[in-house]
Structure 1
Amino acid sequence: MNTNGHSPAANPTRRVVITGVGLVTPLGHDLSTSWAQMAAGKSGTSAITHWDATEFPTQINARVNDWEPGAYMDRKEARRTGRATQFAYKAALDAVRMAGLDWEQEDRRRVGVEIGLAFGGWDIVEEESAKLAEGGPRRFNPANGVAALISGTPTFVAIKFGVTGPTNSQVTACATGITSIGEAVRRVQRGDADVMIAGGVEGYLTPMIITTFSRLGAASTNNANPEKACAPFSGNRDGMVVGEGAGVFVLESLEHAQARGATILAEFAGYALSEDAYDLVAPEPTGTGATTCMSLALAESGLAANDIDWIVAHGTGTLLNDTMETAAIKRVFGEAAYAIPVTSIKSSIGHSMGAAGAQSAAVLVKAMQEDRILPTINYEIPDPACDLDYVPNHSREHRVDAGLCNGFGLGGQNATLILKRFVA
């Protein structure tokens, strides 16, 4: 009986590598732009302007602005898809191009898609619900009802690339992005596919979503200073800023990547899932589930605690999450925890739920290329309960040979991913 907290890999010795990365954030529509802005300490948080939020307690978000889907798909497709699907396709397109996949040479039956969302096409749902309430069934567009399906996003990507391998959408709340990458790795390890296009996405900055997190007490109300609103691990933090975007990867078996002469960006090392079984919203305060998750991923990787060079934290900026995650990191890494830099990129780009873990993994891969790690911006006041090195406010030159990403979802769904520098 498996008691590890996640499904065992059928062939854990089959090496899986990353050959392409696509990223969409409030700071840029691609990996290079987003990275440069985050490294410069910029914030993608701003006042809500795409609907009237003046009567709402939370009036800020981290929105992907200047978005023109017509640059990546035809106008008809743009009308029939929500922002999440559009973000996912743009990030997937970038990842596939970076990987140099030649569809004329690939067996598309051996290529799958694993892209997850936490909320799906919520922008479509709210828009069509309003039409239905105001004008009755004749105003409702049934095509949009289908487009809002969570499974519609990976399906759209599969259709665009013409790939017919295993296609799926993971849903583990804020852990979705990491879960999608990890489960895609398992598919390659099992031999279900040679290549997986995998990641997470979210595009849902609607009144209902903002109200949900505001009424839960999880969202910042620092409306007067949007760029300073998300302050993970800082003693003056007052909640997260809801964001959107995507992170998508091309994952391949090492044999497949080498056979086609691909440039390998990083290698998969470890992955695990766990569950708090504590509350539908709040994390288990002692971090038991998070500790289990990180410990299992570290065990699979075969790395020692002091081999981890950077932790890209879940780091939402809420009082409960940041304290819990800090405690869990110290429990897993012991004294080594104080020597490992820990960053929350949510300080710069907000919390994009289903995309968050995949965005964290994207910057981890980039850090291995740049020998630089990103800052946790808006860090102003030390918190005695959060006493690690959070790379405050400024990026730092730092070699990353192995790094860890956390994603801790509502309901206590935890996911950890470890990547390492590729060595032939």
Structure 2
Amino acid sequence: MKRRVVMTGIGVVAPGGTGAKPFWDLLSSGRTATRRITSFDAGRFRSQVAAECDFDPAAEGLTPQQIRRMDRAAQLAVVSTRECLADSGVDLAALDPGRTGVVVGSAVGCTMGLEQEYVVVSNGGQHWNVDEAYAVGHLYNHFIPSSLATEVAWEVGAEGPVSTVSTGCTSGLDSVGHAVELIAEGSADVVVGGATDAPISPITLACFDAIKATTPRNDDPEHASRPFDGTRNGFVLGEGSAMFVFEEYEHARRRGARIYAEVAGYATRCNAYHMTGLRPDGVEMAEAIRAAMGQAEVNAEDVDYVNAHGSGTVQNDRHETAAFKRSLGEHAYRVPVSSIKSMIGHSLGAIGSLEIAACALAIRDDLVPPTANLHEPDPACDLDYVPLTARETPVDTVLTVGSGFGGFQSAMILRQVA
């Protein structure tokens, strides 16, 4: 019999503020953190807006050596890890390091460090034969995404299962799913799991410009992310990290830990269809949802809130609307649904974990965060997408979903522990 797994600590670095409290304050107030890009001159790009984190690594306690060694994505992960550990109250010294694990998800790894160093060693792209003498000594760490999990493992002192999960935009869901499975199967008692991404860089903007996936609404960045709205025209890039402490239920109960939620079900599927395209019927996402609900032993009517992928593209919004109808039946028309990407953008691999944090806080406060900027609903998206203002309502069981390039479709059920 699988062991129950609960969340006892949350750590967040997100657009709008560092820490779970400012993150939740932003979401529950319906404010947006999207703006014109400030970290570099984005004037030559089609899309020039993003949801940036106002993040100062030194102010957050990272040493000059850590700052030099770590890519921004690793810095975000370590800072959010420190918060989730403090929030959980877990005594690291009392843990068996061999029974303690780490799982970090990321879609694009150390993109910023790699790009910055390429600019240096190639003299701004002028030299085909680059001069490696100008590279930082830790450049190899930027090259391998596993360095993200390594940094977190060092922070935690974990000597059990440690891994990196990279499944595109579902990485933040899939990393948590893997972390939970390690505990459920008995491979670990405590796992620090979550995701991080810092993709706001010229190379990322160029990639999404090429396929016209991001919004060109540069004159109105605060209202540029418009999931499920008929006037939407692409997603807004974001960045951030959310990390959690997961424990076996009895382990958490024995030490008197505060429990945010139980991760009761998780499933993932792939459509094996197209690198960026989605079938309009939402079959694969619907199957992942049904599998997650089956694992959690909940019915559609038990779901009190759906945290949508809600990227703000026509294809995605209609795809998951169909998936909700297919998997939840008539209840899809009654359950509140919302997308927090309307407020903090789409941080690629990190967003799934940031959405899990939002779900846990929604359960804690019985509050559904809104879909900002939803003024003119797409007639094809005819569910209850909680426009503009947060809604107070009992929230005991939450479904959160993710959809990623390559056809990945993931779903997770979180529920309150009585």
Normalising to structure 2: TM-score of the pair? 0.97
1:275 aligned partner, one-letter code? C
1:61 aligned partner, one-letter code? A
Q: Is 1:379 paired with 2:377? A: no
Q: Is the 8 A contact 1:21 1:95 kept in 2?
A: yes
1:88-110: per-residue Cα shift (whole Å, max 9, x none)? 11111111111111122111211
Q: Is the 8 A contact 2:282 2:319 kept in 1?
A: yes
1:189-223: per-residue Cα shift (whole Å, max 9, x none)? 11110000001110121001011112211100000
1:368-422: per-residue Cα shift (whole Å, max 9, x none)? 1111110000001121110001100001111110001111110111111100000
Query: C-alpha displacement at 1:49, in angstroms?
Result: 1.8
Query: C-alpha displacement at 1:161, in angstroms?
Result: 2.1
Where does residue 313 of structure 2 map in the other structure?
318
Q: Is the 8 A contact 2:114 2:142 kept in 1?
A: no
Q: Is the 8 A contact 1:283 1:411 kept in 2?
A: no
Provide the C-alpha distance between the structure 2 equivalents of 1:72 and 1:339, rounded to a whole number of angstroms: 45
Q: Runs of 5+ in structure 2 lacking a partner?
A: 124-129
Of residues 183, 207, 228 in structure 2, which corresponds to 1:188?
183
Where does residue 216 of structure 1 map in the other structure?
211
1:136 aligned partner, one-letter code? D
Where does residue 234 of structure 1 map in the other structure?
229
Q: How does 1:144-163 map to 2 (within 5 A)?
A: 144-163=139-158
Where 2:17 maps in the other structure, the secondary structure is: coil
Query: C-alpha displacement at 1:305, in angstroms?
Result: 0.4
Q: Is 1:302 paired with 2:291? A: no
Provide the C-alpha distance between the structure 2 equivalents of 1:165 and 1:216, rounded to a whole number of angstroms: 41
Provide the C-alpha distance between the structure 2 equivalents of 1:67 and 1:324, rounded to a whole number of angstroms: 38
Where does residue 384 of structure 2 map in the other structure?
389
Identity of aligned residues (%): 37
Where 2:112 maps in the other structure, the secondary structure is: helix
Provide the C-alpha distance between the structure 2 equivalents of 1:183 and 1:118, rounded to a whole number of angstroms: 15
Greater CA drift, 73-82 or 344-353: 73-82
Provide the C-alpha distance between the structure 1 equivalents of 2:406 and 2:160, rounded to a whole number of angstroms: 31
Provide the C-alpha distance between the structure 2 equivalents of 1:67 and 1:73, rounded to a whole number of angstroms: 9
2:245 aligned partner, one-letter code? V
Query: C-alpha displacement at 1:342, in angstroms?
Result: 0.5
Provide the C-alpha distance between the structure 1 equivalents of 2:14 and 2:209, rounded to a whole number of angstroms: 22
Query: C-alpha displacement at 1:349, in angstroms?
Result: 0.2
Provide the C-alpha distance between the structure 1 equivalents of 2:29 and 2:228, rounded to a whole number of angstroms: 19
Query: C-alpha displacement at 1:149, in angstroms?
Result: 1.9
2:52 aligned partner, one-letter code? R
1:350 aligned partner, one-letter code? G
Where does residue 417 of structure 1 map in the other structure?
412
1:169-207: per-residue Cα shift (whole Å, max 9, x none)? 111100001100111111101111000000111012100
Q: Is 1:205 paired with 2:200? A: yes
Query: C-alpha displacement at 1:66, in angstroms?
Result: 4.1
1:361 aligned partner, one-letter code? I
1:126 aligned partner, one-letter code? E
Where does residue 17 of structure 2 map in the other structure?
28
Provide the C-alpha distance between the structure 2 equivalents of 1:68 and 1:190, rounded to a whole number of angstroms: 36
Of residues 170, 189, 212 in structure 2, which corresponds to 1:175?
170
Q: Is 1:267 paired with 2:270? A: no
2:382 aligned partner, one-letter code? D
RMSD of aligned alpha carbons: 1.1
1:42-90: per-residue Cα shift (whole Å, max 9, x none)? 1111001211111111111111024334522211101111111111111
Q: Is the 8 A contact 1:274 1:415 kept in 2?
A: yes
Greater CA drift, 347-356 or 71-80: 71-80
Q: Is 1:285 paired with 2:280? A: yes
Q: Is the 8 A contact 1:69 1:86 kept in 2?
A: no
Q: Is the 8 A contact 1:43 1:347 kept in 2?
A: yes
Provide the C-alpha distance between the structure 2 equivalents of 1:286 and 1:69, rounded to a whole number of angstroms: 48
2:169 aligned partner, one-letter code? C
Of residues 92, 116, 125 in structure 2, which corresponds to 1:103?
92
Q: Is the 8 A contact 2:111 2:142 kept in 1?
A: no
Query: Quick one: structure 1 residues 69 and 344, their matched pair in 2 at CA, closer, same or farther if it must change by over 3 Å?
Result: farther
Where 1:72 maps in the other structure, the secondary structure is: coil
1:206 aligned partner, one-letter code? S
Where does residue 7 of structure 1 map in the other structure?
none
Q: Is the 8 A contact 1:119 1:204 kept in 2?
A: yes
Where does residue 336 of structure 1 map in the other structure?
331
Q: Runs of 5+ in structure 1 lacking a partner?
A: 1-10
Provide the C-alpha distance between the structure 2 equivalents of 1:351 and 1:67, rounded to a whole number of angstroms: 21
Provide the C-alpha distance between the structure 1 equivalents of 2:246 and 2:171, rounded to a whole number of angstroms: 17
1:227-286: per-residue Cα shift (whole Å, max 9, x none)? 100000011010100100011111110111112221111111110010011101122222
Give aligned pairs, total. 412
Q: Is 1:45 paired with 2:34? A: yes
Provide the C-alpha distance between the structure 1 equivalents of 2:82 and 2:137, rounded to a whole number of angstroms: 27
Query: C-alpha displacement at 1:29, in angstroms?
Result: 0.7
Normalising to structure 1: TM-score of the pair? 0.95
Q: Is the 8 A contact 1:83 1:204 kept in 2?
A: no
Q: How does 1:390-405 map to 2 (within 5 A)?
A: 390-405=385-400
Runs of 4+ in structure 1 over 3 Å off = none
Q: Is the 8 A contact 1:81 1:144 kept in 2?
A: no
